């Protein structure tokens, strides 16, 4: 099947050579981690962490003041004067410590955003690969039905020429064949679009369709009885962690802003050239107290950011918990549907169509009955391929989410 599909998509893409690439599910997930939307956030997190290492522990630079002058009186002592003042400010309100805490939380936010981008990319690639897999199998099913419709038209045409069937029967057979050809064209278009989607999600350099090769993913299905335990761990998903860390970072920046406008001490020395031929070295100490300005304006904005992030975190936690509950249900629901289609509907529909055609060939059934049976069999077979894909997607999505939760749980338990 795959070589035929490869040639078909190459023809649709207008590039007969080389044939489009075909990748397995595992390869698609691996390539998803190398796409720009994943590499960019990860690189940003690394760059910030590296640059933050250069932040000084002293938030203020030394100050040097030079005051040249001229002594006018008394007249017999007129000469140049010079005062040099060197001062080092020191924050006494813990600004350095607050700044380090803020920086660490900002790095954590970027790291969580990188994890969120990686998870979203893997989910998108998994969905795109499964859609491409289903599209390829549906196309193969419709092509098979088109061949059957063509053979049926040939038989009816022959029977009509012998007077065994009417021209109305021949028109119905031709219409059915045309409908089958249209279904093939639609399936070809779906395969082309799903292949482009897969190529986009794995970061393919050339905008041509990429095909799904191999079997559907078969991740282990989580035990439904453990759903409540997983619900309690949903706060570890990046979508929730990002908002939590953003709220904490905003709170830390409030502390930093307040400390930056806290008590400031300045210590230094003053060197003064005094007349006649005098030289004076003095010590200097200044204190700035936060009596009026405490950074209220900046802290108010940061407080609003903190409160907003806390609300967004609560909403994100609700969303992922409902997604998890829906995911468990979807796994069970699609498994039940798959059993019905695989064990009953699809084989029964195909058997009915094959039997009805044999009866028709022996003159015991009408053409309309044959066409209706064939249509029902095609629909059932196509739906079987799609429900197989939906069941695989439901399990894969849940597996990727819970794997991320497990990784974050292990990271927290292993943290000092």
Q: What is the pLDDT of residues 74-132, one digit of tens each?
A: 777 778 888 999 999 999 999 999 999 999 999 999 999 999 999 999 999 999 999 99
Residue indicated by tokens 């307040």: 258
Compute the distance between CA of residue 18 and CA of residue 64 in angstroms, rounded to an integer. Answer: 70
DSSP code of residue 135: H
Q: What is the pLDDT of residues 335-364, one digit of tens each?
A: 999 999 999 999 999 899 889 888 877 877
**Residue 353: enclosing H or E segment and its boundaries?**
helix 346-361
Collapse the DSSP code of 66 into the 3-class scheme (helix H, G, I; strand E, B; otherwise coil) and give the result: strand
Compute the distance between CA of residue 277 and CA of residue 230 in angstroms, rounded to an integer. Answer: 83
Per-residue model confidence (pLDDT) at position 167: 86
Per-residue model confidence (pLDDT) at position 236: 92
Q: In which band, very low, low, confident or very high, does the pLDDT at 19 lie, cut at 50, 70 and 90?
A: low
User: What number is the average pLDDT over the span 308-317?
Assistant: 96
**Could you please report the per-residue DSSP string of 361-400?**
HTTSS-HHHHHHHHHHHHHHHHHHHHHHHHHHHHHHHHHH
Per-residue model confidence (pLDDT) at position 91: 92
Residue indicated by tokens 């700044």: 99
Q: In which band, very low, low, confident or very high, does the pLDDT at 275 lie, cut at 50, 70 and 90?
A: low
Q: What is the pLDDT of residues 138-181, one digit of tens each?
A: 999 999 889 888 988 888 888 888 887 788 888 988 998 999 99
Per-residue model confidence (pLDDT) at position 162: 82
Helices (H) and strands (E) in the chain, counts: 10, 6
CATH code 1.20.1600.10 for 59-183+216-414: yes
Per-residue model confidence (pLDDT) at position 12: 47
- Other CB atoms within 10 Å distance of the CB of residue 82: 13
Collapse the DSSP code of 277 into the 3-class scheme (helix H, G, I; strand E, B; otherwise coil) and give the result: coil
Q: What is the mean pLDDT of the chain?
A: 88
Compute the distance between CA of residue 37 and CA of residue 119 in angstroms, rounded to an integer. Answer: 11
Per-residue model confidence (pLDDT) at position 17: 43
Q: What is the pTM of this model?
A: 0.85
Compute the distance between CA of residue 116 and CA of residue 222 in angstroms, rounded to an integer. Answer: 22
User: Is 159:165 a contact under the CB 8 Å cutoff?
Assistant: yes
Q: What is the pLDDT of residues 38-84, one digit of tens each?
A: 999 999 999 999 999 999 889 999 999 999 988 887 777 778 888 99
Comparison of pLDDT for 13 and 88, the residue scoring more: 88
Q: What is the pLDDT of residues 212-242, one digit of tens each?
A: 999 999 998 777 767 888 888 899 999 999 9
DSSP code of residue 345: I
**Is 7's pLDDT higher than 50?**
no
Per-residue model confidence (pLDDT) at position 240: 95
**Closest to 175 measured CA to CA, from 367, 380, 359:** 367
Contacts of 56 (CB under 8 A, 6+ apart): none
The b-or-e profile of 98-118 (16+ CB within 10 A means b, else e) is bbebbbebbbbbbbbbbbbbb
Residue indicated by tokens 């998994």: 126
**Could you please report the per-residue DSSP string of 197-265?**
HHHHHTT-SS-S--EE-SPPP-PPPPPGGGHHHHHHTGGGSHHHHHHHHHHHHHHHHHHHHHHHTS-EE
* 277: alpha, beta or left? (left if phi > 0; alpha if psi -120 to 50): left
User: What number is the average pLDDT over the span 283-294?
Assistant: 91
User: Is 197:128 a contact under the CB 8 Å cutoff?
Assistant: yes
Phi, psi of 81 (to 5 degrees): -125, 155
DSSP code of residue 342: I
Per-residue model confidence (pLDDT) at position 384: 94
Question: At what angle are helices 296-340 and 367-414 packed, to 10 degrees?
Answer: 140
Structural domain boundaries in the chain = 59-183+216-414
Compute the distance between CA of residue 213 and CA of residue 192 in angstroms, rounded to an integer. Answer: 15
% residues pLDDT > 70 (the chain)? 94
Compute the distance between CA of residue 365 and CA of residue 178 in angstroms, rounded to an integer. Answer: 22
**Is 412's pLDDT higher than 50?**
yes
Compute the distance between CA of residue 334 and CA of residue 396 in angstroms, rounded to an integer. Answer: 13
Q: In which band, very low, low, confident or very high, does the pLDDT at 6 lie, cut at 50, 70 and 90?
A: very low
**Could you please report the per-residue DSSP string of 279-301?**
EEEEEEEEEE--SS-S-HHHHHH
């Amino acid at each position: 099947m795959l070589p035929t599909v490869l040639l078909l998509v190459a023809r649709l893409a207008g590039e007969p050579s080389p044939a489009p690439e075909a990748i397995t599910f595992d390869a698609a997930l691996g390539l998803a981690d190398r796409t720009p939307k994943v590499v960019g956030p990860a690189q940003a997190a690394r760059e910030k962490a590296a640059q933050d290492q250069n932040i000084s522990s002293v938030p203020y630079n030394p100050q040097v003041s030079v005051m040249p002058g001229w002594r006018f009186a008394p007249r017999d002592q007129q000469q140049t004067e010079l005062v040099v003042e060197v001062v080092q400010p020191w924050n006494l309100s813990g600004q350095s410590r607050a700044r380090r805490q803020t920086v660490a939380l900002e790095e954590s936010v970027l790291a969580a955003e990188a994890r969120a981008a990686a998870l979203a990319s893997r989910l998108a690639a998994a969905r795109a690969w499964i859609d491409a897999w289903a599209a390829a199998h549906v196309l193969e099913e419709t092509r098979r039905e088109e061949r059957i419709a063509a053979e049926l038209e040939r038989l009816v045409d022959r029977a009509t020429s012998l007077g065994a069937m009417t021209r109305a029967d021949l028109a119905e057979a031709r219409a059915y064949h045309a409908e089958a050809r249209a279904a093939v064209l639609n399936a070809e278009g779906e395969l082309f679009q799903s292949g482009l989607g897969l190529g986009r999600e794995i970061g393919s350099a050339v905008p041509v369709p990429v095909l799904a090769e191999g079997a559907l993913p078969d991740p282990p299905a989580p035990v439904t009885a453990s759903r409540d335990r997983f619900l309690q761990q949903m706060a570890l998903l990046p979508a929730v962690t990002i908002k939590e860390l953003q709220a904490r970072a905003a709170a830390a920046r409030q502390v930093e802003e307040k400390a930056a406008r806290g008590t400031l001490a300045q210590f230094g020395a003053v060197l003064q050239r005094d007349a006649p031929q005098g030289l004076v070295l003095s010590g200097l100490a200044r204190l700035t107290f936060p009596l009026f300005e405490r950074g209220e304006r900046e802290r108010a904005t940061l407080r609003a950011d903190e409160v907003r992030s806390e609300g967004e975190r609560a909403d994100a936690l609700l969303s992922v918990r409902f997604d998890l509950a829906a995911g468990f249900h979807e796994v069970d629901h699609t498994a039940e549907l798959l059993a019905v289609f695989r064990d009953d509907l699809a084989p029964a529909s195909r058997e009915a169509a094959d039997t009805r055609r044999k009866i028709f060939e022996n003159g015991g059934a009408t053409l309309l009955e044959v066409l209706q049976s064939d249509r029902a069999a095609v629909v059932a077979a196509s739906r079987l391929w799609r429900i197989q894909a939906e069941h695989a997607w439901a399990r894969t999505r849940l597996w990727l989410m819970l794997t991320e939760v497990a990784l974050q749980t292990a990271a927290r338990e292993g943290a000092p």
